[in-house]
Amino acid sequence: MVVPMRCTACGNDETRVVDSRSAEAGSAIRRRRACTRCKNRFTTFERFETVTLTVVKRTGDKTPFDRAKIVRGLTLAAKGRPLESAVLQLIADSVEDQARIEGPEVSSEWVGIAVLDQLRALDEVAALRFASVYKGFVDVADFERELTLIKREHPAFGASEPQSDSLTPH
Ligand SMILES: [Zn+2]
């Protein structure tokens, strides 16, 4: 159960988050809040241990966020690629941080895309593999969109698509 964040001026428990950033190397989150009643702004400092992070699957089923599952997927995708295990751990950490800022609930699609975004910047081969490994995990359409982006940014990587600097409008 999440404790309501009360306004420090008037005690109103309806506040709006205006800014979130991770703190203490990702073990806590600092939120800038605004009271919906008196417009007072204040900062809260929330420890992650008090917040349960949940992943909502396409089926609507909810499951606890599993960092180890992300690392397993990354490890499979990075096999034989010049990506050290420590880098994969960092990606998983970073996705967890983002999820906590986004959360307390994130969709499985969101997790897959967040991982892919980071992996793509490091190694497009691993990113493509990750996309295929996780096809069953996230929405296929999302991944197809991501794959199109990868091919667009790395034309040599795609099949027979002509190289073009201009983006094709959808
Ligand atoms: Zn207030």
Residue 1 pLDDT: 35
Q: At what angle do helices 67-77 and 85-102 cross, to 10 degrees?
A: 140
Query: In 10 A of CB 62, how many CB atoms?
Result: 10
pLDDT of residue 39: 93
Report the DSSP pairing between strands 54-56 and 41-47.
Answer: unpaired
Residue 15 CA to ligand 1 centre (angstroms): 8
Q: How far is CA 78 from the centre of its chain?
A: 19
Task: Answer yes or no: is pLDDT of 169 > 60.
Answer: no
Ligand 1 centroid – CA 120 distance (Å): 43
13 CA to centre of ligand 1 in angstroms: 8
Distance CA 90, CA 126 (A): 15
CA of 138 to the centre of ligand 1 (A): 40
CA of 29 to the centre of ligand 1 (A): 21
Structural domain spans, the chain = 15-47, 54-153
- Whole-model pTM above 0.95? no
Mean pLDDT of the chain: 79
Tens-place pLDDT, residues 148-164: 776 776 665 544 444 44
Interval between CA 27 and ligand 1 midpoint (Å): 28
pLDDT tens, position by position, 80-137: 999 999 999 999 988 988 888 888 899 988 898 899 889 989 998 899 888 877 765 5
